[in-house]
Amino acid sequence: MNDNFVNALITWYLYNKRELPWRETTNPYFIWISEVILQQTRVAQGLPYYEKIIDEFPTINLLAASSEEKILKLWQGLGYYSRARNMHTAAKQVMAEFNGQFPNNYTELLLLKGVGEYTAAAVASLAFNEPVAVVDGNVIRVISRYFGITEPIDKPVVLKKIKSLAQELLLKEKPALYNQAIMEFGALQCVPANPQCGNCPVFWHCQALKDKMVNQIPAKQSKTKVRERFFYYLIIKEGKNVFLNKRPSGDIWEGLYDFPLIETEKQIELHELMKNHSWQLFFGDKSIHIKQISSLVKHILSHQRLNVHFINIEAGNLLTNYPDNWIRINADTIHGIAVPRLIDRYIHSNDFNKLFADCT
């Protein structure tokens, strides 16, 4: 039965696979870059970023020698910025600890920053033909449905079982081909919602289909609660200059810049915000001019929902003492700074452009 499953998946893959640049090479550096990008990103979104990064850093030594700021700017808009920082650290590891040669086996790949079991298996099998099974979300879904695994996949014992099955199914003489096939099958055919069971090449042995549980498998124990947050960004203008805030170490946006921020427990009115401790620290009793308050902007992050207002403030030259993590820059140069997607959208908006339109 398992041989039929493997053969059917490979046949399906050869007819249906997408033509992607990292599938046309065995260069471990290129494959690794693609896997880092695709950890939390769909192929359609990730492909332009892959091309940008490879174009800018065609070799790992160039990536290692780059500044973090440049890498974060290239990564801007892709989210989960720790991936970019880990990628940079891992590149420097390869140069310092492996004499510039990418590790060529699963065990050593795991030593690199940000490389977990899935990424190590992907690079080891695709670049070096090592017979180790990849287990990503797509693979988990395919195996769970095919074998009718109804237990929550986020239970360690269940995930261990799935990994064991994945290794048993692996076509040992052609691990790269098989791993690509099962991942692609999960991405295109055995999709999370409403999969194409009617023309599935392995439907005859799919236990979830037999039990009419396709849309219930895979299952999880519980969903993470979404946290509601309330942000007030201060666009503090001094002539042609504007203030930015560098996000601290350990932050979700570490190393990126946003505007000075006041976070509150709930949405409040401006007069309440002006009594806030942070507002008083920033401005005290200085005579500032509030030019505009944006309408509510909602921004969704993983397990967080941001409720955001942008407040345009004319400060003249009143801010002489400000926090060490603030910088004052010319507004014309702001597009070269690495910022979160939320901030990038704002600085491309009419509200921001109008704020500096009368400056010469």
Cα(165)–Cα(163) distance, integer angstroms: 5
Cα(319)–Cα(258) distance, integer angstroms: 18
Cα(63)–Cα(87) distance, integer angstroms: 9
Query: Which tokens hold the place of 46?
Result: 């990730």
Please report, for residues 24, 61, 286, the alpha-carbon distance to residue 119 in angstroms, rounded to integers and kept in the order given: 18, 20, 53
Burial letters 284-314, b for 16+ CB under 10 A, else e: eeeebeeeeebeebebebeeeebbbbbbbbb
CB atoms within 10 A of CB 200: 19
Cα(179)–Cα(128) distance, integer angstroms: 13
In sequence order, the 6+-apart residues with CB closer than 8 A to the CB of 182 are 9, 134, 138, 139, 142, 166, 169
Active-site residues, by number, are: 35
Question: Strands (DSSP E) along the chain, which ranges?
Answer: 227-238, 241-246, 257-258, 261-264, 289-293, 297-301, 304-314, 326-330
Residue 199: exposure state from Cβ atoms within 10 A (0-12, 13-18, ≥19) = exposed
Residue 24: exposure state from Cβ atoms within 10 A (0-12, 13-18, ≥19) = exposed
Closest CA to 160 of 135, 125, 185, 180: 135
